[in-house]
Structure 1
């Protein structure tokens, strides 16, 4: 009986070690051998969610790579930024899309809501710190372990197939051909609120934006926040007072390139928050010219909207 008990314990221990190895070793290999490559002449990298994903046609902007991905909170962007900047030292300037919906608490769901976490966590789990994982577990313990299992399976497949290349799989320009019929009307009231409503603010998203900025600074990169055009009737523009106050209070040390009011016609929007290919063509051509004229070198962000209106007329 004693010998049987010892064998049972040893078997359970060996099984646990084997399971742990299957879960951890592939993750280590993915972290060590992962490849995040962009074009050698790309000195400017853009990160963000679907607004920038649809707005910046990087084939029209010199030395520029769009690495935006739809429904991506700053929590996951941070993991991506770390890998791209280390592996692509030619990048000198980092642009980070910062628009009105990114302060909203819907970003919390984008971070640890099961639908988003089950999609994004397996992609970036190997590059996260313990504190990052602890954050997810704290806010969604019910499904976090399920996502750990998905990540372990994903990493095992990568390791067995020696497929560590993330190039082209983490975002890029997304062309939208269609345009919805957008109604004409009065712009939303952008001065409706005068101070941040803490119940509607995603502190986690803002904290990870700060992490991204600080990381870029530590890597000696020029970093800018940038806001791409949004339709005047876009619902999240009604938090403009909150948005401005938060930007000034927490990111006042970061230059802000604001193209929120760049003149885009209704048929150049795919919807209130996204440009279609016609809008992206118009806007990207303009951005390319501004960069050629030294916008990122001088850091001159004054009168952005006025200059955009003048160029469009």
Structure 2
């Protein structure tokens, strides 16, 4: 019996060692593709989840770089931003998506839920520090071990086999042209009680980390809300959201584009512009920048 247990232990240790070796090797290969490299001349960085990902076509906005990613909570945005700023940095302004939905407890699943760990972990595990590993382990050690040992390797090596610098960079963020829709927008609205503001401390904490990181780099920070379909604008209370955030955030300018006059045909759903809508909005945004000599002075600013 002792020999059997010893053999099992040896097999398990060997299995873990092989998996870790392959994971680290694959991750270093991805790292060699420089996914956090800032495009030449980019002075404005746009980060957040699917809303800015769909709204800001950076090919139409001078000196900008949209590095947003669908279903990305501030936890992963902070890690990504930390790595990005370690590169040669030309960034002067950072626009961060901030809306009531970012702070609901449901979004905790975006950090340590199995589904999001499957899509995020293989890209980021090499960039975690001890604090970030401890957070994931303490909140969901079963999901963390399962994804690390049995899920990440397949996803990682699919990308290694199909390695292309542009595709690797897209895994971490970038503008995505969302499709048109045949759905009746506004027919199925979220419940108002779901739009709470500071129900999840983890998201507020990592937004604070993002702000602290940028301020130490001397980079100007702006909160943004992208265009919303008219059917959901009544659910959106930017004033209350800002007041619920920690007081040091109250001085950060807030550019609220929720009421941008886009028509239904310009949306993919109530919360995301489609490609045509993004083109209209991005051209308008770029012209505003030109008119103000690059100064971000338009939109609702701070707490009134």
TM normalised by structure 2 equals: 0.80
Q: How many residues align?
A: 294
* Root mean square deviation, CA, Å: 3.9
Q: Give how far 1:250 is off.
A: 5.1
Match of 1:221 in 2: 219
Match of 1:72 in 2: 72
Counterpart Cα distance in 2 of 1:140 and 1:13: 21
Going from structure 1 to structure 2, the CA distance change for 1:59 and 1:104 (only over 3 Å counts) comes to same
Match of 2:179 in 1: 177
Q: Give how far 1:226 is off.
A: 1.0
Q: Is the 8 A contact 1:175 1:277 kept in 2?
A: yes
Q: Provide runs of 4+ in structure 1 moved above 6 Å.
A: 11-14, 158-161, 187-190
Q: Is the 8 A contact 1:229 1:260 kept in 2?
A: yes
TM normalised by structure 1 equals: 0.78
* Cα distance per residue 1:211-244 (max 9 Å; x no partner): 1111111122122111111123338935656423
Q: Is the 8 A contact 1:226 1:256 kept in 2?
A: yes
Match of 1:114 in 2: 114
More moved, 48-57 vs 229-238 = 229-238
Q: Give how far 1:300 is off.
A: 3.0
Match of 2:89 in 1: 89
Match of 1:309 in 2: none
Q: Is the 8 A contact 1:30 1:164 kept in 2?
A: no
More moved, 276-285 vs 108-117 = 276-285
2:235 is aligned, of 222, 237, 251, to: 237
* Cα distance per residue 1:103-140 (max 9 Å; x no partner): 21221011111001111011111111111111111111
Q: Secondary structure at the match of 1:65?
A: strand
The structure whose Rg is larger is 1
More moved, 234-243 vs 278-287 = 234-243
Q: Equivalences for 1:1-313 in 2 at 5 Å?
A: 15=14, 18-19=17-18, 22=21, 26=25, 29=28, 33=32, 35=34, 36-149=36-149, 153=153, 157=157, 166-182=168-184, 201-234=199-232, 237=235, 240=238, 242-247=240-245, 249=247, 251-294=249-292, 297=295, 299-301=296-298
